[in-house]
Amino acid sequence: MTIRIGVDTGGTFTDVVLYDEETGRIHTTKTPSTPPDFDRGVLDGIDDILAGTDTDPAEVSFLSHGTTVGTNAVLEGDIPPLGLITNEGLRDVLEIGDQTRPELYDLQQEKQPSLIPRRRRLGVPGRMRHDGTELDPLDEAAVEAAIDELADQGVDSVVVSMLFSYLNDDHERRVGECIEAHEADIEYALSSAVYPETREYDRTVTTVLNEAVKRNIADYLGRLEAGVVDRGVDVPLNVMHSGGGVFSPGQATQFALRTVLSGPAAGAVAARDVATGLGFEDAIGLDMGGTSADVSIVENGDIVRSTEGEINDLPIKTPLIDINTVGAGGGSIAWVDEAGGLRVGPKSAGADPGPLCYDRGGTEPTVTDANLLLGRIRPEAFVAGDMDLVVDRTRERFREAVADPLDESVEAAALSVLKVANAKMAREIRRVTVERGRDPGEFVLVAFGGAGPLQAAAVAEQMGISSVILPRTPGVLSARGLLLADVRTDESRAYRGDRLDAEAMAEGYATLEATQRERFAEMGFDAEEVTLQRGADMRYVGQSYELTVEVDTPLDEAAVRTAVERFHREHERIYGYAMADEPVEAVTLRVTGEVPTPPLRDEPDATEEAADRGTQDVYFEAQGTRETAVYWRPALPVDTTIEGPLLLEGTGSTAIVPPDATATVTDDGSILVER
């Protein structure tokens, strides 16, 4: 039992990574995804890699899977017929949302249609007060009538979301019981069970989205689990969630919305692993692909997480890695606006038709084309056939669309394009770290994805970052993250006591910890294997922004004081001031459970290939055109140190090292670029 397998399903391809703990070797394979039955592609991928490495399925000790299949379906409008039962008079809360419109200055904009149409949203008398006591009794006859009506309308499942149910779920539970007892075969979900926290719209929309994703993902995961067992793999199928851990298919179904950032979360986990492995505790992960770049943050060796996110303008209240997306990628289109200003994006040529130089019908100049024209990537990397012709055509179109309108040489204009794209990225990364009260210069940049290693050095320079890490397999780093992710679940509930009371808090934690133990028992772990960590979202009384701080065990008055002190310190760090005399309150209690997954100890593959690939003329801003050494990156031995400028070519990605920087191959096969 020494084999770990990770499978990352995307819309087009399924990436599979296999790690053999005994040999320390990693194998990868790519198979086509098989929509709409994505499970087939996953199982094909597993078959492929087992056969290709001649591995006995019984040797598999860890299997994990990243998928956004369920979420994507919902985002594309594939929503099963759901109903909603809520308080009388409040059935439109789900539709009104926060009453804002998506764009400020667009008279032709549209709002997303409601997840559940109005005719299937029904209100019933019955209401709780803000302290969880009952104001109006639940009208069960009205509940019965509502269920009848929803049954007539053919709903599969009913979301029940009522005011203050996070404090008192009695009405919601009773509605659930009525649904269960109803003759029609209807399922249901209670907002108090899915997301027991305050703000009725957020709780309702989170529960509705969860239910929609759940119904899309349940069959998929069921078939997948059965397929895995059929193949003689005797370990549970772990599913990657947005919080950067894995959990069981049962939990992935029940808390389906927590898989929303499955893929990017795995990338963030891998970036953290690479950075901390090299001794860097503070890092920015930059995953730059064709259309956008995902930014994640590691602070003190830990990934920065958030308790809320947004998809399609809808708030989602699930624990997730704080990932910010910038609309700048290799395919971002460069254009000149009506006042002669150079702009990059937000439009992208994507992967299809892609940049001009892919020669697949692209007509607009992109960031990747600018890299080509400056000699930073070589056409051999992505086109077969007559490369000179492709380069000439790209140059002509770039001249016509960008260089001439700017009245600049092609090289100068191409450099400007790169600088603008980098400035956009730098601005976004800066905002993200500043919101954390940190200067980006204190971080190391971990750059991956197809386009990341090309831009990283310049982006780092703009932010005053001196070290850049280019991981060994930038194209499949996310899949690697799947092999590394700890088993982890995050549970939370609204704090129900007055102010800060150790006893009331302890009671809340006891409930959360009991839930956690149950979840890990379901996944086959003993209680002593599980590390539980307590946290609380706190704020100054009167504020609406909370900060999460750690809470110690045992929970006595001293532990509460320590937590409050941590809150003051965190507030000072992030906002620049603390108010030691102001009262502090706890809003939400959190417990995280974790069972660590052992690290990977893979050795860089030895290769017989030659490292030296000659030289290439590359244009740099300060130095102009420089003859630049080109190396085949996988062939560079560990501890090699080379002075820039360099082009480092690898499978699916090229890295650039500027003239004033030094590149070192580290033990794990990454390149550390320092200046």
Partner 1 sequence: MVSTGELEIFRHSLKSVVEEMGVTLQRTAYSTNIKIRRDHTCALFDSRLRHVAQHDVAPQHIGSLVSVVPRNVRALEWDLEPGDGILINDPYRGAVHLPDVMLISPVFHEDEIVGYAANSAHHVDIGGGTPGGIPNDSTELYAEGIVIPGVHAVEDWEYQDRVLEFLLRNVREPEMRRGDYRAQLGANRTGQKRYAALCDRYGAGAVADYLDELLDYTERRVRAAIEALPDGRYEATDEMDGDGVTDDPVTLALAIEVDGTEITLDFTGTADQNRGPLNCTPAMAFAGAMSVVMAFIGGDLPKNDGFYRPFETVTPEGTMVNPTDNAPVAAGWEIAMRAGDLVAKAMAGAVPEETVAATKGIVCNIAYGGDDPRDDSPYVYYETVAGGYGARATKDGMDAVQTHFQNTANSPIEELEAEIPVYVREYGLRENSAGAGRQRGGLGVRRDYEFYGDNATFSLLTDRTKSAPWGLFGGHSAGPAEFVRDPDGEATALSSKSTTELDPGEVVSVRTPGGGGYGDPLERDPQAVLEDVRNGVCSQRRAREVYGVVVSDGEVDEAATRERRREMGDSLEDPTAGSDAEEGTR
Q: What is the largest CA-CA distance in the chain?
A: 83
Q: Which stretch binds partner 1 (CB under 8 A): 8-16, 96-104, 141-149, 205-213?
A: 96-104
Shortest spacing between CB 302 and partner 1, in angstroms = 21
Q: Which stretch binds partner 1 (CB under 8 A): 295-303, 476-484, 528-536, 568-576?
A: 568-576
When the beta carbons of 464 and 596 are compared against partner 1, the nearer one is 464
Which residue in 51, 434, 510, 527 binds partner 1 (CB under 8 A)? 434
Is residue 401 within the footprint of partner 1 (CB under 8 A)? no
Is residue 93 within the footprint of partner 1 (CB under 8 A)? yes
Which residue in 342, 504, 532, 642 binds partner 1 (CB under 8 A)? 342
CA atoms within 13 A on the CB side of 601: 5
Which residue in 423, 532, 611, 642 binds partner 1 (CB under 8 A)? 423
Which residue in 32, 77, 154, 341 binds partner 1 (CB under 8 A)? 341
Query: In this structure, what is the dihedral angle of CA atoms 555, 560, 562, 568, given to the nearest 10 degrees?
Result: 150
When the beta carbons of 276 and 543 are compared against partner 1, the nearer one is 543
Q: Is 310 exposed, middle or buried (0-12, 13-18, 19+ CB in 10 A)?
A: exposed
Which residue in 389, 545, 627, 638 binds partner 1 (CB under 8 A)? 545
Is residue 624 within the footprint of partner 1 (CB under 8 A)? no
Beta-bridge mates of residue 540 = 584
Q: Which of 61, 198, 264 is nearest to 588 (CA)?
A: 198
When the beta carbons of 50 and 370 are compared against partner 1, the nearer one is 370
Q: Which of 266, 261, 368, 269 is nearest to 325 (CA)?
A: 261
| DSSP E strand boundaries for 176-222 | 187-190
DSSP-derived secondary structure letter, 549 = E
Q: Is 419 exposed, middle or buried (0-12, 13-18, 19+ CB in 10 A)?
A: middle
When the beta carbons of 251 and 422 are compared against partner 1, the nearer one is 422
Q: Between the CA of residue 253 and those of 213, 235, 554, what are the distances in Å?
A: 8, 18, 33
Check the CA dihedral 107-108-114-118 and report its sign. Answer: positive
CA distance linking residue 12 with residue 32, whole number of Å: 6
Q: Which stretch binds partner 1 (CB under 8 A): 342-350, 528-536, 555-563, 662-670?
A: 342-350
Angle at CA 410, nearest 5°, toward 409 and 414?
A: 120
Shortest spacing between CB 339 and partner 1, in angstroms = 4
CA distance linking residue 626 with residue 674, whole number of Å: 19
When the beta carbons of 402 and 536 are compared against partner 1, the nearer one is 402
Q: Which stretch binds partner 1 (CB under 8 A): 70-78, 347-355, 404-412, 517-525?
A: 404-412
CA distance linking residue 281 with residue 268, whole number of Å: 14
Is residue 261 within the footprint of partner 1 (CB under 8 A)? no
Is residue 333 within the footprint of partner 1 (CB under 8 A)? no
Is residue 412 within the footprint of partner 1 (CB under 8 A)? yes
Q: Which stretch binds partner 1 (CB under 8 A): 7-15, 176-184, 209-217, 418-426?
A: 418-426
Token pair 């990537």: residue: 377
Q: Is 130 exposed, middle or buried (0-12, 13-18, 19+ CB in 10 A)?
A: exposed
Q: Which stretch binds partner 1 (CB under 8 A): 62-70, 305-313, 518-526, 571-579?
A: 571-579
Is residue 622 within the footprint of partner 1 (CB under 8 A)? no
CA distance linking residue 28 with residue 38, whole number of Å: 19
Q: Which of 414, 310, 311 is nearest to 372 (CA)?
A: 414
Q: Which stretch binds partner 1 (CB under 8 A): 143-151, 226-234, 266-274, 411-419?
A: 411-419
Is residue 496 within the footprint of partner 1 (CB under 8 A)? no
Contact assessment for residue 121 and residue 83, using Cβ atoms and an 8 Å cutoff? yes
Q: Which residues contact 185 (CB under 8 A, 6 or more apart)?
A: none
Phi, psi of 450 (to 5 degrees): -60, -40
Is residue 47 within the footprint of partner 1 (CB under 8 A)? no
Q: Which stretch binds partner 1 (CB under 8 A): 285-293, 332-340, 645-653, 657-665?
A: 332-340
Which residue in 22, 54, 76, 106 binds partner 1 (CB under 8 A)? 106
CA distance linking residue 665 with residue 29, whole number of Å: 25
615-621 long-range contacts (CB < 8 A, ≥24 apart) are 616/375, 616/378, 616/647, 617/375, 618/374, 618/375, 618/376, 618/645, 618/647, 618/656, 619/374, 619/375, 619/411, 619/414, 619/415, 620/645, 620/658, 620/659, 621/415, 621/419
Which residue in 15, 169, 200, 322 binds partner 1 (CB under 8 A)? 200
When the beta carbons of 339 and 622 are compared against partner 1, the nearer one is 339
Which of the residues 137 through 196 are near partner 1 (CB under 8 A)? 163-164
When the beta carbons of 2 and 112 are compared against partner 1, the nearer one is 112
Q: Which stretch binds partner 1 (CB under 8 A): 54-62, 339-347, 632-640, 667-675?
A: 339-347
Is residue 306 within the footprint of partner 1 (CB under 8 A)? no
Contact assessment for residue 335 and residue 402, using Cβ atoms and an 8 Å cutoff? yes
- Specify the 3-state DSSP secondary structure of 243: coil
x-or-dash string of contact with partner 1, 121-140, rule CB under 8 A: ------x-xx----x-----
Is residue 89 within the footprint of partner 1 (CB under 8 A)? yes
Shortest spacing between CB 658 and partner 1, in angstroms = 17
Q: Which stretch binds partner 1 (CB under 8 A): 86-94, 231-239, 372-380, 660-668?
A: 86-94
When the beta carbons of 135 and 527 are compared against partner 1, the nearer one is 135
| DSSP E strand boundaries for 514-660 | 531-540, 547-551, 584-595, 612-620, 624-632, 641-643, 646-650, 653-657
When the beta carbons of 333 and 648 are compared against partner 1, the nearer one is 333
Shortest spacing between CB 411 and partner 1, in angstroms = 12
Q: What is the DSSP string of 375-423?
A: TSS-GGGT--S-HHHHHHHHHHHHIIIIIHHHT--HHHHHHHHHHHHHH
When the beta carbons of 374 and 663 are compared against partner 1, the nearer one is 374
Which residue in 105, 183, 610, 614 binds partner 1 (CB under 8 A)? 105
Is residue 199 within the footprint of partner 1 (CB under 8 A)? yes
Is residue 578 within the footprint of partner 1 (CB under 8 A)? no
Is residue 575 within the footprint of partner 1 (CB under 8 A)? yes
Shortest spacing between CB 478 and partner 1, in angstroms = 28
Contact assessment for residue 362 and residue 353, using Cβ atoms and an 8 Å cutoff? yes
Cβ count within 10 A of residue 216: 20
Q: Is 9 exposed, middle or buried (0-12, 13-18, 19+ CB in 10 A)?
A: buried
Q: Which stretch binds partner 1 (CB under 8 A): 36-44, 89-97, 140-148, 186-194?
A: 89-97
Contact assessment for residue 509 and residue 535, using Cβ atoms and an 8 Å cutoff? no
Please report, as ranges, the residues that interact with partner 1 according to CB under 8 A.
Answer: 89-93, 95-96, 98-101, 103-111, 117-119, 127, 129-130, 135, 163-164, 198-202, 336-344, 406, 408, 412-413, 415-417, 419-420, 423-424, 426-427, 430-431, 434-435, 542-545, 574-577
